[in-house]
Amino acid sequence: MKKYIMSIDQGTTSSRVVLVDSTGRLVSLAAQPFKQIYPKPGWVEHDANEIWSTVESSAKAALQNIKAQPSDLMAIGITNQRETVIAFRKSTGEPLHNAIVWQCRRTTEMCERLKKSWALKIKNKTGLVLDPYFSATKMRWLIENSPAVRKALVEKDLAFGTIDTFLMWNLSSKKIFATDVSNASRTMLMNLKTGQWDAELLRLFKVPLECLPEIKSSSGLFGYASNCSFAANDTAIAGVAGDQQAALFGQTCFNVGDSKCTFGTGSFILMNTGPKILKSKSGCLTTVAWRLGNQKMQYALEGGAFICGAAVSWLRDGLQLFEKSSEVEELAHQVEDAGGVEFVPALAGLGAPYWNPHARGEITGLTRGSTRAHIARATLEAMAMQNADILLAMQKDLGKKMKRLRVDGGASANNLLMQLQANYLGTLVDRPQQIETTAMGAAYLAGLGVGHWKNPDEIRKIWKIDKEFKSAMTAKALQQRRKSWLLAIKKSTLTN
């Protein structure tokens, strides 16, 4: 009997693999980090072969943890760091260049050059802003700058893929060349309305259609594993989604207005908008949430703060205020409030809803009475406040007030931060018992894809709450707090 769904969660710094049993319970987890490559300032790459090798070893370890066999797998789900691009040969699967990572800024100049003529058209077609973050400019850069990529292109042997595509190619011995709608929607090459590659954008970024994978639904049969060291040949690959969409699904945010925030290095917020493409007027991105089988495409609004947990890491490593990141909560608890100190963690510019790459970090409001505890408190308050900025923008676009926010990621374990988040949103914040929501989302999509669960309502019953945080702030106090924060944001954008 097939007992488990394997979920591969291929992230920016590590590859994680979990096994989920037939009741939807996580029963095994294994992870392995891999190297970050920085060829020049602002450039970020990964070794694609190392990524595959860490997935393979983590998958084997996850099976070994519970003495499971490859034949015990009923399905495989995949979730992945989005926007990262790999160029490889179709004939052999050999990577032609290091993967160019979503964080990489090497195509900034290309984006600046194209902005005047193309920014509005790209936003209308794809829901995205013209930015190096997305995959299309990375593909054009590889075609223009890598002799190996150009040679494969001339020989009609070039494949481009996001990480999910590369993993499926390897899992299936070159039989599956596919991606899902959620990953495709982050390339800046997919038309949001049609769910297909856009011919005009392919011409702009010089990417031939035959180099790109087939776009499929997020849940459904992609194909089968073949000659794979950790899966039997009849194991279906049946669920694929980009990491943030997988977390939205894993948090069972199935209704319009349902929202989740993942607290990681940055924070990523998605709000389900249902089958409606909602064009943001408030600085958010429009993206695909998922498509289940032959059903209608579901969309989402997305906003991200580039620096979230990374702000705490900076206090630890840059200012050396404490030795472990987990100590920030205890330190911040030593004071009732930040004592007038504001910290805008624009250490890599400002993301949504401001989109200001020139903004710089600011610590203001310091007095002789300010201590490291005030700075720690101001940091947690900033993490919550910048998320509130994004969610308030989303509510404005949706024309509907949200009732609750579901949270996950490492920093969601910080109770003070979660309470501040509830205060600054004036809404409920729910933390689930299972915070591996990204991997769980891919597992749920795969389980639906093979018919193990019949519909999302069955999955909703699996999700369990750990703790609910309620707002404990008056409207007047919140108004004053936001006024001070927005003044600090303004200062950070005037620095440069």
pTM as predicted: 0.89
Q: What is the pLDDT of residue 152?
A: 95
Q: What is the pLDDT of residue 495?
A: 52
Phi, psi of 350 (to 5 degrees): -110, 135
Query: Which domains can be identified in the chain, with CATH numbers?
Result: 4-234 (3.30.420.40), 252-432+464-496 (3.30.420.40)
Q: Which residues 6+ apart lie within 8 Å of 301 measured at CB?
A: 270, 271, 273, 278, 280, 284, 285, 286, 287, 394, 397, 398
8 Å CB contact between 10 and 80? yes
Q: What is the pLDDT of residue 1?
A: 66
Distance CA 126, CA 129 (A): 8
Low-confidence ranges of the chain (pLDDT < 50): none
Q: DSSP code of 412?
A: G
Distance CA 195, CA 59 (A): 31
Q: Which residues 6+ apart lie within 8 Å of 392 measured at CB?
A: none
Measured CA distances, 183 to 241, 313, 466 (Å): 6, 29, 30
The number of beta carbons lying within 10 Å of the beta carbon of residue 186 is: 28
Give me the amino acid identity at 217. S
- The residues that bridge with 303 in the sheet, in sequence order, are 269
- The residues that bridge with 99 in the sheet, in sequence order, are 46
Q: 349 is written with which tokens? A: 């510019």
Give the pLDDT confidence of 104-120 residue by residue, as tens digits. Answer: 888 888 998 998 999 99
Q: What is the pLDDT of residue 346?
A: 86
